[in-house]
Structure 1
Amino acid sequence: MAIEDFDDILPHVGSFGPFQKRILLLSLPVNYFLAVVYMAQIYQTLTPEHWCAVPELNNLELSERRNLSIPMETRDGELVYSRCRMFDVNFTQMDVTEQPNSSWPTKPCSTADGWDYDLSGGMYHTIVSESNWVCDDDWRPNFAQAMFFVGAIVGSLLFGLLADWYGRLPVLIMSNVLACGAGVATGFAKGFVDYVVCRFLVGMAYDLHYMMMYIILMEYVGPEKRTIVGNVPLAIFLTLGASSLPWIAYALADWRLFSIISSAPIAIIVVAWWLVPESARWLVLKGKSDQTLKTLQQCARINKKTVDPLIYEEFQAATLRTYQLEKDNPINWMDLFRSPKMRQRFLIITLTWMVITVVYDGYVRSLAILPYSVFITNSIAGALELPADLVPVVTLDRLGRRWTLMMALSLAGLAGVATGIVPQSSAMLMTLLAMASRFFITIAMNTGIQYTVELIPTQLRGQGTGVVHITGHGATFFAPFILYLVTYCKH
């Protein structure tokens, strides 16, 4: 068989031997850290149940203070204690055994006195309760999360350029070092600006800190193994990360310590500099045929393969042709709009991906609204990542990409609409529908990733996929604000 591209030489040097398994082994923690980078803020910004603090009543038990000083109000169809108003009476002259009267005047909580927080049920102080980001300031956590996605846009553009100029491996190291450093720094944030800056920097690393390793791994694995290698490890370790993070936060009960302990291990990815090869296709496109050859010879040696020198010579000749062709015919992502068919296809892909990312992010962050332990609901929802990641492995080849994507989006939409229609009193049904919708949107996301790569022409695949992901980050910027609308939606 003639050697025309990198896939053709893989059978000769070994397409899934010890060389590839070493890369796969190091990719496993990267899959876990994807959950850390994306989901850590959930446990940094949990909002405990709260009400106005009344210093004059500090000699009473917490429940007694609330009963005496806080009026009742209707929220989500239930009569509950107000979070942002208190009775406007002189508590120093009041008989503490007196029962509150609903006719008493009320006033907003005093920012000077602050709020009392209910830390029962495993809840702990977060930056929200430390900084009193509640009532008039309850927009701050959502804004910080939106800045995470602004960082993701900036990071995708910046690191994307660096990956084209200097290679995938340096960007893999830089993005993970940034995720580690900014994640640890989050634990030392003293206020709103500090926290937002840290979230922006972590966002810069998001996606590429994982995608660079994914790209390198997929290039060195034979086509017959790519579906399994690309999906199963991600499914297992992303699920492990998503379902274990709630319990790490619960056990530590300290948002600062959680930020440090969950982010610090990302530093282990630095060893990739010595253990992981540079992207073969990047080397080919940059005309670095000698370095590509050394990597292939190392692969053959580790995999214990004997390769005819003529095979290497044929491969080098093919890479030189590819390099010269790219040099003589430079292209960029704007070429995706030159033909009407490709333009239409690319716009549909982009809009679909924007919808998927917004809906997925909304479900990831909305589970805290449900009337159950956030640690239990997030752990169960995290465990659903495993079957949702594995379903496409079966359906993509049997049903096809289009049908799998269409059915997943339709079922996610139906379950999502049903979640909004179900009355608040049916909490269990609402929770099950929300988790079902997240399950299906996760299938749609995994299908969309692969479908996007396959629909974009090979020579435009890197830039085209990058544009799609950046527009997804741009759309997801609005997800925290959409979720914040629940503040104004009273059932």
Structure 2
Amino acid sequence: MTDYDTATGFLGEWGRFQQQVFFLLCLTIIPNGFTGLSIVFLADTPAHRCLIPAHVNLTAAWKNSSIPLEEDTQSGALAPSKCSRYKLEEIVSFSDRGLLPGVDVNLSNVATEDCLDGWEYDRSVYVSTIVTEWDLVCEDRWKNPLTSSLFFCGVLTGSFISGQLSDRYGRKIVLFVTMAVQTVFTFIQVFSPSWTMFCAVFFVVGVGQISNYVAAFVLGTEILGQRVRTIYSTAGVTLFFGLGYMLLPLFAFFIRDWRMLLLGLSLPGFLSVPLWWYIPESPRWLLSQGRVEEADAIMRDAAKRNKIEPPPVIFGALQKELQSERRRAHNICDLLRSRNIRWISVTLWLVWNTLTIAYFALSLNTANLHGNAYFNCFLSAVVEMPAYTLSWIMFRWCSRRLSLFSTLFMGGLFLLFIQLIPANLIYLAITLEMMGKFAVTTAFAIVYAYTAELYPTVLRNTAVGACSMASRIGSIIAPYFIYLRSYSISLPYILMGSLTALTGLLSLLLPESYGMPLPDTITHMQHFPGCCQKTPYTLTQTEEKERTAERKSPVVP
């Protein structure tokens, strides 16, 4: 369907129909911004220490001294222990005898014990989080990063199934079904009686979260014209995702209880229900399924909204190619079937994987930065807005391949430089981290649109979903990159910086799609150039058969 843009060119680029599709699809993206990163506040760990039961009769001096001092792994200074206390029997005995801590008693000789009566949490920032609710600290602190990882396991699952469902049943139906899944299960999370239940529901939220994002992304990419498509796939969906991300710290600042915060975050999803009657199905997808009459009806309705008279026959010239494509159903296996598409897929999977590690690790790390957690999260979100704008500028006028390479490589360098900053220059380190986040975010916006341009209509949603699915290995392990801070503050930045810079070099192997029409069949795809290929690319037997079938296929009556 190489003439699709020509066949629909009579609509113009920016009429009332395109404006409606653009903004309504962008609105569906907003909940993804605060759902995907809400765990920053839902599972933040406030300052804590062992609880001294109220019935224990201790003087004020002994209560203050009942927690041993330990060296903090991040600052290096002495701080009260978070996971142990002096044995209360001995402390009570000393207190009853009127002895003074540090004067009459050498506390270094007193045995310690675990927090047998639970923990006392600092309530100055949060009324409650899932950490304070279910004591996810000390021996159970491994559950905190696992909570995020299980959400991203849901994202992985959603990426795997949603793309294939969308290519089979349609972009629109998958978009609204998964929006409902995300909203309803976020609401169910409010009533979680245990950490296990919370994680199980959070997994399903992850399934819905990525599925509706990819469906909305592909739907807009296929409906809109070439120029508006570039704006939508780079600045459009990403800016509205960033808007949702910016709303997250504002919600969290005014709602300090995790259950009420989740309730507030679930409500906007219910407002999206009326959009079903205003967002159409993708005409490109309908044509790929042979449903020419439905695609024709959508185009005529669009022409009516744009106050344009449509031609008598809109898609007549495309039906020959449609016939050959309908003969064979496509699935995720086609992404590896031929040499050309296989190399493109594997390279993109590696790029996406590294990007998700860097993006989500830096986003989840905002609660650990020096200063106010709400401001740091808001700053991290604000940094994304100019990044998305830059991605649109680069995608509009620059080489796709060089744009992806430059942003990845620079992001890696910024993260590597953080380890060279002296410990006392905290704000300089934060600035470098935000510059790294800026570059990685720009690359993330570019790779989404770049991927959609490289794959054909018959596989586009499956391909974007598969890339997203492959990248979730990175998002699943991203919380554990932050967990490495407990051993060394520099280690996460060294690993993320090295991976990002090396992947930037790898991205130079991808084909260029700047100025090329969207491919509609597998044989229309750009060829993978590689780094050592000296001879022109030749079609495989599978690709040659498909091309021959296209040429010989009869025109659909």
Q: Same fold (TM over 0.5)?
A: yes
Q: CA deviation at 1:419?
A: 2.2
The residue type paired with residue 129 of structure 1 is T
Query: Which residue, 98, 101, 116 being the options, matches 1:99?
Result: 101
Q: CA deviation at 1:143?
A: 0.9
Q: CA deviation at 1:368?
A: 1.3
Gaps of 5+ in 1: none
**CA distance in structure 2 between the partners assigned to 1:414 and 1:106 by the alignment:** 47
**CA distance in structure 2 between the partners assigned to 1:190 and 1:67 by the alignment:** 34
Q: Mean Cα displacement is larger for which, 86-95 or 377-386?
A: 86-95
**CA distance in structure 1 between the partners assigned to 2:141 and 2:168 by the alignment:** 42
Question: Any idea what SS the aligned residue of 2:296 has?
Answer: helix
Query: Which residue, 38, 41, 45 being the options, matches 1:40?
Result: 38
> Aligned residue for 1:115?
119
The residue type paired with residue 92 of structure 1 is V
The residue type paired with residue 92 of structure 2 is T
Q: Mean Cα displacement is larger for which, 215-224 or 123-132?
A: 215-224
Q: CA deviation at 1:341?
A: 4.8
> Aligned residue for 2:377?
378
> Aligned residue for 2:220?
217
**Quick check: 1:176–1:267 contact (8 Å CA) kept in 2?**
no
> Aligned residue for 2:311?
308
**Quick check: 1:57–1:65 contact (8 Å CA) kept in 2?**
no
Question: Any idea what SS the aligned residue of 1:151 has?
Answer: helix
**CA distance in structure 1 between the partners assigned to 2:3 and 2:380 by the alignment:** 42
Aligned-residue sequence identity (percent) comes to 28
Cα distance per residue 1:187-219 (max 9 Å; x no partner)? 111111111111101110122212222222222
Structure 1 residues 118 and 156, CA gap change in structure 2 (3 angstroms): same
RMSD in angstroms over aligned alpha carbons? Answer: 2.5
The residue type paired with residue 20 of structure 1 is Q
> Aligned residue for 2:233?
230
Matching of residues 289-304 of structure 1 within 5 Å: 289-304=292-307
> Aligned residue for 1:23?
21
> Aligned residue for 1:473?
472
Please identify which structure carries the higher helix content: 1
Q: CA deviation at 1:59?
A: 8.1
> Aligned residue for 2:438?
439
**Quick check: 1:168–1:278 contact (8 Å CA) kept in 2?**
yes
Structure 1 residues 203 and 459, CA gap change in structure 2 (3 angstroms): same
The residue type paired with residue 439 of structure 2 is F
**Quick check: 2:290–2:326 contact (8 Å CA) kept in 1?**
no
Q: CA deviation at 1:159?
A: 2.4
**Quick check: 1:171–1:212 contact (8 Å CA) kept in 2?**
yes
Q: CA deviation at 1:103?
A: 0.9
The residue type paired with residue 236 of structure 1 is L
Q: CA deviation at 1:177?
A: 0.5
Question: Any idea what SS the aligned residue of 1:116 has?
Answer: strand
Q: Mean Cα displacement is larger for which, 199-208 or 336-345?
A: 336-345
> Aligned residue for 1:54?
52
Query: Which residue, 274, 277, 281 being the options, matches 1:274?
Result: 277
Gaps of 5+ in 2: 491-557
**CA distance in structure 2 between the partners assigned to 1:441 and 1:13 by the alignment:** 36
Q: Mean Cα displacement is larger for which, 207-216 or 418-427?
A: 418-427
Determine whether 1:68 maps to 2:70: no
> Aligned residue for 1:160?
163
**TM-score normalised over the length of structure 2:** 0.80
The residue type paired with residue 480 of structure 1 is P
**CA distance in structure 1 between the partners assigned to 2:306 and 2:56 by the alignment:** 71
Q: CA deviation at 1:10?
A: 2.6
Q: CA deviation at 1:442?
A: 0.7
Q: Mean Cα displacement is larger for which, 443-452 or 481-490?
A: 481-490
> Aligned residue for 1:368?
367
**Quick check: 2:159–2:207 contact (8 Å CA) kept in 1?**
yes
**CA distance in structure 2 between the partners assigned to 1:457 and 1:165 by the alignment:** 14
Question: Any idea what SS the aligned residue of 1:305 has?
Answer: coil
Q: Mean Cα displacement is larger for which, 100-109 or 248-257?
A: 100-109
Matching of residues 221-260 of structure 1 within 5 Å: 221-260=224-263
Q: CA deviation at 1:265?
A: 1.3
Structure 1 residues 169 and 133, CA gap change in structure 2 (3 angstroms): same
> Aligned residue for 1:79?
78
Structure 1 residues 325 and 59, CA gap change in structure 2 (3 angstroms): farther
Question: Any idea what SS the aligned residue of 1:278 has?
Answer: coil
Cα distance per residue 1:66-114 (max 9 Å; x no partner)? 6322111111212111111111243434438933554143434334x11
**CA distance in structure 1 between the partners assigned to 2:364 and 2:54 by the alignment:** 37
Q: CA deviation at 1:236?
A: 3.4
Q: Mean Cα displacement is larger for which, 32-41 or 422-431?
A: 422-431
Cα distance per residue 1:268-288 (max 9 Å; x no partner)? 222222111111122111111
**Quick check: 2:164–2:332 contact (8 Å CA) kept in 1?**
no
**Quick check: 1:48–1:117 contact (8 Å CA) kept in 2?**
yes
> Aligned residue for 2:206?
203
> Aligned residue for 1:178?
181
**CA distance in structure 1 between the partners assigned to 2:457 and 2:163 by the alignment:** 17
**Quick check: 1:115–1:132 contact (8 Å CA) kept in 2?**
yes
**CA distance in structure 1 between the partners assigned to 2:284 and 2:80 by the alignment:** 61
Matching of residues 327-342 of structure 1 within 5 Å: 327-337=326-336, 339-342=338-341
Determine whether 1:485 maps to 2:476: no
**CA distance in structure 1 between the partners assigned to 2:362 and 2:202 by the alignment:** 20
> Aligned residue for 1:396?
395
Q: CA deviation at 1:128?
A: 0.6
